[in-house]
Amino acid sequence: MASTAEPVTVVKRSSVSPPPSSSTAEMSLPLTFIDMFWLYFLPIERLVFYEIPNLSRAHFVEHIVPKLELSLSIALEKFLPLAGNLIIPSGSGSNSDSTPRLPEIRYLQGDSVALTISECNEVDYFSYLTATADEARKCLPYRSLVPALFNPTRYDADSDSGSDKIIPVLGIQVTLFPNSGISIGISNHHAVGDASTIFQFMKTWANLSFQVLQEDRDSVSAKTLGSENLPFYDRTVVKDPKGIASIFLQKWNAIIEFMKKGDGFPVFEFMNKINVNVRKTFVITRKDIDKLKSLAAKNGEKVLHLSSFTVTAAYVWTCLVKSRAPSGEEIGAKDSELFAFPAECRGRMNPPLPENYFGNFITPSMIETEHGKLAGGGGFQTAVKLIGKAIHERLENSETLFLGAERWMDELHEEKWARNVGVAGSPKFSYYNLDFGWGKAVKFEFVSIDLTGAISLHGCRDPDGVLEVGLSIPKPKMDAFTTIFRDGLNSL
């Protein structure tokens, strides 16, 4: 693949607002304690590729871009908070006697989403970035295709200025690959919403775009959307009798003060690894999942919550653990291994929350065990038991969903977090099925795993596949993982 100094050129920067005719001039959503957990996490970055042969620059700029801007504006009319900002009040979460003002998502008329229109200068980038071949790819080319939304540490220097922090919650970049296709990059602040919320928005935008592009219309109304596709904004459904939102805010402030002293912070330390990481996608087929389930239940042993997610997550986790030593990492058998994953739980409440609830409604589970228990024989079965038990205990009923939530942040500052494996995404939401008017997507990438070190799990493009697993790790570890992953599945 040839390389130039600037693989992508910005064609246009614009600000897309909801239509002026929107009936709502102002909207404010207080952060729930679930939102507050993600207050200073890195942005979530996703990238979707669409193949459009013989696409010219003129057609892209004159026809496609205006239609995308129009449909985005209409979509934002129903998702006003995404056009707004995260407001972190000055002094919020301080230890003063006065009641602190808590952060909120605020939309004011005139607020907008930054939209970047760009063009790729590399003639072979599209085929390289969307290749189905099982090969490792550099991370940096993907980063040029998603908008830079924010860095959580960037706001620390101004924390004593006395001014409120105003942080955009959504950024979008659309990139032309001449004669090949288009990519749509989305960056969002995690505090504004989870995977369900962002996918709901993207699905709405795609449906509206399909209408204006396929039917070559100059206007479209949000009234064409069914009520089931419109977000549910009532925050009173999230109860916080223990004041966990304030607890989280105070803990975040303590973390920020810790970082301002020049000390490192484990949960952000992988930000500097992007230059040594490579990306790779692995497909898990239905046959693989069936074999893994059989292996997990070998000898008739009962396993709690034996699902596709459980066995896939357990298998990937143990393969990553086993790849440490072959790739040169020094780790002892008694050293800690951590695994963290979210569970979407709108339907687990009593009564259930609407599926279109806007915001975060996920509950995290964190597992810790010894390296030797996963790296040795029977490591996969151990991981399955741990993950299955954690899911069962967390999702058993509405009372256990957020049990102990006030302690969620306690381990973020510990050194062992550096060996944590997290999960990004959800198999429930397939970006491959989003059709903006050019057919289904040909490739989906969870770009932010370059920075977070998480594995991504999402629906598969391959009709024979069930899940795609995305990794972004140093090449020696990727090589070791690939061998262990393949050999393990082939031996089943």
DSSP string, 28-44: EEEPPHHHHTTTTSPPE
And the tokens for 159?
């924390």
Buried b (16+ CB within 10 A) or exposed e, 283-294: bbeeebbeebbe
Q: What are phi and psi of 218, to 5 degrees?
A: -100, 0
Whole-number Cα distances in Å, 89 to 102, 106, 206, 257 = 7, 12, 34, 16
- Angstrom distance (rounded) from CA 30 to CA 92: 13
- H/E run at residue 418: none
Is there a catalytic annotation at residue 216?
no
Using DSSP bridges, classify how beta strands 113-120 and 170-177 pair: parallel, antiparallel or unpaired.
parallel
Catalytic residue among 156, 164, 240, 435: 435
CB of 466 within 8 A of CB of 447? Answer: no
Residue for token pair 């967390």: 394
Is there a catalytic annotation at residue 305?
no
Catalytic residue among 189, 190, 371, 458: 190
- Angstrom distance (rounded) from CA 83 to CA 114: 9
- Angstrom distance (rounded) from CA 374 to CA 378: 7
And the tokens for 40?
């200073």
And the tokens for 476?
């020696």
Whole-number Cα distances in Å, 78 to 60, 210, 229 = 26, 17, 9
Catalytic residues: 190, 435
